[in-house]
Structure 1
């Protein structure tokens, strides 16, 4: 009798408990299905996304290492073949190497990004705003980047300058002209080490005017003041003798293409007469030769 009463109580509550039990079972099945789907996605697409990003990082790092190794090898070859550093072909190869590295890395990053977006299977409602935001950003920012890349292509294709060249670029706001040696050229930026040791990075689109001081030959120009009471002919003779001596010096002759001579009177002041002392040297060697000439003039005694 007691057992019958117990089951009767359960049967009375069954209409209430059955829907709740069925609902709980349905929720459990949906959760299990979603967990299985998430696990399958992580196992397939998730692992593939990790592999894509890891592969892109690995390849960009490998390209950087290979590029740096090749750049050092080119630098050593250029130094061995041309100790004076006026090999335009070596400079062009260095610039081409930097541009190729930048272009390959950009391509790898773009492919990895697009591939990842495709694997995420984003709904159209989420993709459209994302594309709109990216498009707006590209509209404002990519214009400058595209201009920099096009300028870099022209710099490299026209061989305006290359790695190792001594250049003067500008005018830049607010520093004016910058002069130094090119350390790296990519499609987007150029890096120049100034003679003070500063490394300046500039977008190629901002290089409006460039002066390459490492091509063909350079001119050494020195203006030398001479007292109005001094013998002008004797001063000119002494300076021409110094130009002859340095041009025939075994240490300095390889740097000089044309013997420095006094070209004439450059200026007449109240107390001094300025003589122009000029000659031709190898590219980027004019400052070194000019310092040696001033040193010899100081030893001889100022005219």
Structure 2
């Protein structure tokens, strides 16, 4: 009866810890991505990472204490306990080194605030697979889980994370490349593009996403038939794609009256 109570109590405690941690982590995942409080976003991501690591650590302790209590309740002879300990030690020895490395790496990730739940990251490289990119869904002491833009959930041991790129820390770069015919009046077209950028910055739907108003930085390259100008600015984390799409649409609409067709490309860096 005592053993049943120990096992049941451990199970209930682990479920309770998981429920509380999951509720707190869910609140971070559902945070408002349009929020301009960058400090709050970073703190929330770090808090969720700490919660995930704490949940993992508490569960490990509960299992260890419950297992020890069960063995003591069985009143096994000391020789049997020594034998079981030896077998368990031999079995764990093979994976202990890797697990310790994963846990130490997890401690560094969390203490240094490299990334947290809700951040957009690029992890790797992983051999022939290359880099994994997506939104962080869970960070524990041993493993990090990210959801790719295709919807796949990837779990990576922290010890394998040789490099990571946080694309949603503080701000993100908005970069749009606009090709113009070489025979066009470049200075005039630059003024038109800058006017489009200024109008977008005054739009209430996008003004709160911008940290630095996009503007033409100058001529980036010369081709056989066109001249490519660079439009760059800064946005809130994770909002760069939305800003870029709207900026490309507005520039294309502005220049359509002059040119029959125009291709506007974009690139995002963080």
Question: Which range, TM-score by smaller chain?
Answer: 0.7 to 0.9
CA distance in 2, matches of 1:297, 1:265: 16
Partners in 2 of 1:180 and 1:85 — Cα distance? 22
Question: In 2, Cα distance between the equivalents of 1:161 and 1:75?
Answer: 13
Inter-partner Cα distance in structure 2 for 1:176 and 1:75:
26
Alpha-carbon shift at residue 154 of structure 1 (Å): 1.3
Q: 1:202 aligns with which of 123, 148, 156?
A: 156
Conservation of the 8 A alpha-carbon contact between 1:79 and 1:85: no
- Tell me the equivalent position of 2:220: 266
Q: How far has the Cα of 1:74 moved from its partner? A: 4.8
Pairing of 1:131-170 with structure 2 (within 5 A) = 131-170=85-124
Aligned match of 1:296 in 239, 250, 255? 250
Quick check: 290-299 or 65-74, which moved more?
65-74
Conserved 8 A contact 1:189-1:201: yes
Q: 1:90 maps to what in 2?
A: 44
Counterpart CA distance in 1 for 2:114 and 2:194 is: 35
Match of 2:192 among 238, 260, 263: 238
Between 1 and 2, higher relative CO (CA 8 Å, sep ≥ 6) is seen in 2
Aligned partner of 1:123 among 72, 77, 89: 77
TM-score normalised by length of structure 2: 0.86
Extract unaligned runs of 5+ from structure 1: 1-46
- The normalised TM-score by structure 1 is 0.77
Q: Which runs of 5+ in 2 are unaligned?
A: 257-261, 264-270
Deviation at 1:124, TM superposition (A): 4.4
**Cα deviation per residue 1:237-267 (whole Å; 9 max; x = unaligned)?**
2221111111122211111111211112222
Give the 3-state SS of the residue equivalent to 1:191 in structure 2: strand
2:29–2:137 contact (8 Å) kept in structure 1: no
> Higher strand share goes to which structure?
2
Aligned residue pairs total 255
Question: What's the CA shift for 1:56?
Answer: 0.9
- Work out the CA distance in 1 between the residues paired with 2:116 and 2:193: 36
After the TM superposition, which parts of structure 1 deviate over 4 Å for at least 4 consecutive aligned residues? Answer: 73-76
Root-mean-square deviation (Å): 2.1
CA distance in 2 between counterparts of 1:74 and 1:271 reads: 49
Deviation, 1:75, is: 5.0
C-alpha distance in 1, partners of 2:80/2:106?
A: 36
Counterpart for residue 6 of structure 2 = 52
2:32 alignment counterpart: 79
2-structure distance, mates of 1:167, 1:91: 12
TM-aligned CA deviation for residue 220 of structure 1: 0.7
Q: Deviations for 1:280-303, whole angstroms, at most 9, x for unmatched residues?
A: 111221111111111112212238
With over 3 angstroms needed to count, the CA separation of the structure-2 counterparts of 1:292 and 1:138, relative to structure 1, is same
**Bigger radius of gyration:** 1
Please say if 1:216 is aligned against 2:170. yes
Q: Distance in 1 between matches of 2:6 and 2:130?
A: 45
Distance 1:156 1:115 in 2: 32
- Does the 8 Å contact 2:101/2:159 carry over to 1? yes
- What does the per-residue CA deviation read over 1:59-115, in whole Å, with 9 as the maximum and x for residues that have no partner? 111211222233334556x439x6468411111111111111111111000111122
Decide whether aligned partners of structure 1 residues 237 and 74 sit closer, same or farther in structure 2, where only a CA change above 3 A counts. closer
